[in-house]
């Protein structure tokens, strides 16, 4: 029998979607969660855990069966992201980047040859994917990117540096954006599919962070890296529409990951509040602790309301959902960060001790406020829609 909170979270899901959530949660808690702290301490990338997703169909749920994937509805895919993120940022990110940014973009904009080349390999779990968008000069103003793609016989030469690139050292496929004409700003931006293992002129370097030590981020240098014509995704100068569609889907999966993290904070804070005592009472009996718990529930459910609706809209194929994806990403990512801060507060000083998981979640949640667009970018986009100066 489900608790009132579980009933609320699951209320408007179908039976199948509830079953997906339950199965992924059981798997994630049993197979992934016990290893995450050790991976973080040892700065180890969770390669073996990622491979466990493949036979269960959690690795490539957006890849159609004709390419060997385990295709399911978008909402269920979001639930996979939510439940994986509830236990591990990195494993959830692999699924989110590989499906939302790469597989979906190839399905939407790729040629038949590109689909045949990449999608079966993604589906079999043979290759992980990275999206190379952000540059040292900035990640928000992508229309002003410095990386260039120069036309040469039979293809393009890429030059430039990308930073903060998740999974880059482990990936077998890069989604890269570069400009074919920097004067044309966003109209010069062009998307490419690049094989980092066989392309000469790509160097992958370390990108040290204060969080996510699990060997996750890298910087990527392109020095006259040759990409053949069949690596072009979409049209020359047509990278922005490709990016827009990819990021919309990416914002959905990141929002769902944020909900997973927000939920995890609640799952950790509630038992602690019911166990820890001060002044002869359980701290959960103090109203100020109860306020934090209530706010955490409210934020998590607000995030579910907007993100689940977005998932259903994407399943209904309503066309572009830029406003809704910005809203979901904004609300869910800020909920995750605030829940992590509150969960630490409930734990008192132990919240920051190595003994408890909750302190790690603060920076991991904060990191989700940056990927797929910052809160400021999303507020800007939402305001522009509200003011009528942006139509899509």
CA distance 87 to 260: 8
- Segment lying near ligand FAD (by CB under 6 A), choices 143-151, 255-263, 267-275, 375-383: 375-383
Candidate list 31, 324, 372, 384, residue with the active-site label = 372
Residues 6+ apart with CB under 8 A from 217: 164, 165, 166, 168, 207, 209
Q: Which is nearer to ligand FAD, 345 or 375 (CB)?
A: 375
What is the nearest approach in angstroms of ligand FAD to the Cβ of residue 6? 30
* CB-based contact 221:156 (threshold 8 Å): no
- Per CB under 6 A, which region of 28-36, 130-138, 146-154, 180-188 contacts ligand FAD? 130-138
Instruction: Respond yes or no: is residue 65 known to be catalytic.
Output: no
Residue 161 engages ligand FAD in binding (rule: CB under 6 A): no
Length of the chain: 392
Q: Least distance from C-beta 166 to ligand FAD, angstroms?
A: 3
* Residue 100 binds ligand FAD (CB under 6 A): no
Residues that bind ligand FAD (rule: CB under 6 A) add up to a total of 20
Least distance in angstroms from the C-beta of 138 to ligand FAD = 4
Helix (H, G, I), strand (E, B) or coil at 5: helix
Helices (H) and strands (E) in the chain, counts: 13, 10
What would the two tokens of residue 112 be?
Answer: 């038949």
Which of 4-12, 136-144, 222-230, 256-264 is the region at the interface with ligand FAD (rule: CB under 6 A)? 136-144
Interface residue with ligand FAD among 170, 324, 371, 381 (CB under 6 A) is 371
Q: Give the one residue of 53, 131, 193, 194 binding ligand FAD; rule: CB under 6 A.
A: 131
Give the residue from 319, 314, 332, 326 showing the smallest Cα distance to 382: 326
Contact between 332 and ligand FAD by CB under 6 A: the answer reads no
Show the binding pattern over residues 177-216: x = contacts ligand FAD (CB under 6 A), - = does not.
Answer: -----------------------------------x----
40 is written with which tokens?
A: 């973080």
Residue located via tokens 């998932």: 311
Q: Which among 333, 337, 340, 335 has a CA at the least distance from the CA of 375?
A: 333
CA 118 to chain centre: 20
Under rule CB under 6 A, residue 140 binds ligand FAD:
yes
Minimum CB separation of residue 212 from ligand FAD in Å reads 6
For residues 360-384, one letter each, b for 16 or more C-beta atoms within 10 angstroms of the residue's C-beta and e for the rest, the string is bbbebbbbbbbbbbbbebbeebbee
Least distance (Å) from ligand FAD to the CB of residue 282? 36
Task: Give the Cα separation of 241 and 250 in Å (integer).
Answer: 14
User: What residues are annotated to the active site?
Assistant: 372
Site residues (CB under 6 A) for ligand FAD?
Answer: 130-134, 138-140, 164-166, 212, 217, 367, 370-371, 374, 376-377, 380
């Amino acid at each position: 029998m489900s608790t009132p909170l579980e009933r609320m979270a699951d209320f408007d899901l179908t039976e199948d979607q509830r079953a997906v959530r339950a199965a992924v949660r059981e798997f994630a808690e049993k197979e992934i969660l016990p290893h995450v702290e050790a991976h973080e301490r040892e700065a180890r990338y969770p390669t073996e855990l990622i491979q466990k997703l493949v036979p269960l169909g959690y690795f490539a749920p957006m890849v159609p069966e004709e390419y060997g994937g385990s295709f399911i509805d978008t909402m269920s895919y979001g639930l996979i992201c939510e439940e994986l993120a509830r236990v591990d940022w990195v494993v959830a990110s692999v699924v989110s980047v590989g499906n939302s940014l790469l597989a979906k973009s190839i399905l939407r904009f790729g040629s038949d040859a590109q689909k045949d080349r990449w999608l079966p390999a993604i589906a079999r779990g043979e290759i992980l994917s990275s999206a190379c968008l952000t540059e040292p000069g900035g990640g928000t103003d992508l229309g002003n990117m410095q990386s260039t793609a120069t036309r040469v016989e039979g293809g393009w030469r890429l030059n430039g540096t990308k930073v903060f690139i998740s999974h880059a050292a482990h990936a077998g496929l890069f989604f890269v954006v570069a400009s074919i004409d920097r004067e044309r700003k966003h109209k010069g931006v062009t998307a490419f599919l690049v094989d980092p293992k066989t392309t000469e002129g790509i160097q992958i370097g370390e990108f040290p962070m204060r969080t996510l030590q699990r060997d996750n981020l890298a910087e990527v240098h392109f020095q006259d890296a040759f990409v053949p014509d069949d690596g072009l995704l979409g049209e020359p100068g047509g990278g922005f529409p490709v990016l827009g569609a990819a990021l919309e889907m990416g914002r959905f999966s990141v929002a769902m990951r944020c909900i997973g993290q927000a939920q995890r904070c609640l799952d950790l804070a509630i038992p602690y509040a019911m166990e820890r005592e001060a002044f002869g009472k359980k701290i959960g009996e103090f109203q100020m602790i109860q306020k934090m718990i209530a706010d955490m529930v409210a934020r998590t459910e607000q995030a579910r309301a907007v993100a689940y609706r977005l998932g259903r809209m994407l399943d209904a194929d309503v066309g572009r959902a830029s406003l809704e994806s910005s809203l979901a990403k904004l609300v869910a990512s800020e909920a995750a960060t605030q829940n992590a801060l509150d969960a630490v507060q409930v734990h008192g000083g132990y919240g920051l001790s190595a003994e408890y998981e909750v302190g790690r979640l603060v920076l991991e949640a904060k990191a989700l406020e940056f990927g797929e667009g910052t809160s400021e970018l999303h507020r800007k986009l939402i305001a522009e829609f509200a003011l009528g100066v942006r139509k899509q």
